[in-house]
Amino acid sequence: MGGQYRITGDKYPRMRRPRRRGRLVVLTVASAAALGAAGWGTVQLVDVFTGGGDSVSATGTKAACAAGPSPTASAKPLPEPGAITVNVLNATTRSGLAQKTADELKKRGFRIGEVANATKEYDKKVKGTGVLLGPAAALDTSLRVLATQLADAERRTDAARKGSEVDLVIGDAFKQLATKADADRALTALARPEPTSAPKNC
């Protein structure tokens, strides 16, 4: 070439393409992100199909769900009315009340023992509907069953008392026993307590 644009000397400048380091960095980051997402997805799939969590807790939960809700157990087995002997004692001034109440209890399946006036300890001293009295062992057994017939009665125990008989001491506020329908429902509830709820994650 001539003129003012003529190249002099024996070396020529090398023409190189600009390096594209930025594109390489972007590609590297994108690849790493893709691999991370794929790994996370695999972990999630494994959790879905295996139930997730550690093996001990998962096994325990499955066993609890398979067993279902468990009923609330009573401390002691409850006797049937026919296995309970009730002494009916009148602590009021109304005559004939003990015999009438005893007859109704007998119709409902209870065994009747003594029918009489209350002892001096209780005679004319019971202001409520009544007192259910028995040995210590009867508190959660026979007295619970008898209480279904007179829900408002007070339950008491006598540690020195022998035998298994229980007393129904009629008080001043007594009008009548619970209706048979209400008493039967109460007996059913005692025999079939409400079950506890199943675990939330079942």
Q: Which residues contact 131 (CB under 8 A, 6 or more apart)?
A: 91, 122, 153, 154, 155, 156, 167, 168, 169, 171
pLDDT confidence of residue 14: 55
Both structure tokens of 27: 């590609």
**Under a CB-based contact definition with an 8 Å cutoff, are residues 73 and 145 in contact?**
no
pLDDT confidence of residue 45: 47
pLDDT confidence of residue 25: 54
pLDDT confidence of residue 27: 61
Tell me the sheet residues that pair with 134.
157
**Under a CB-based contact definition with an 8 Å cutoff, are residues 154 and 198 in contact?**
no
**Under a CB-based contact definition with an 8 Å cutoff, are residues 110 and 79 in contact?**
no
Q: Which residues contact 100 (CB under 8 A, 6 or more apart)?
A: none
Distance of CA 77 to the CA centre of its chain: 19
Distance of CA 37 to the CA centre of its chain: 43
Q: Which residues contact 114 (CB under 8 A, 6 or more apart)?
A: 87, 88, 89
pLDDT confidence of residue 55: 43
Distance of CA 196 to the CA centre of its chain: 3
Both structure tokens of 145: 């069953």
pTM: 0.61
Q: What is the pLDDT along the chain (202 residues), one digit of tens a residue?
A: 455 555 555 555 555 555 555 565 556 656 655 555 555 555 454 454 455 544 434 444 444 454 445 444 445 689 999 999 999 999 999 999 999 999 999 999 999 999 999 999 999 999 999 999 999 999 999 999 999 999 899 999 999 998 999 999 999 999 999 999 999 999 999 987 655 555 555 5
pLDDT confidence of residue 181: 97
CA distances from 10 to 3, 7, 16, 53 (A): 18, 9, 19, 76
Domains defined for the chain, CATH in brackets: 85-189 (3.30.70)
- Phi, psi of 143, rounded to the nearest 5 degrees: -70, -30
pLDDT confidence of residue 71: 47
pLDDT confidence of residue 85: 98
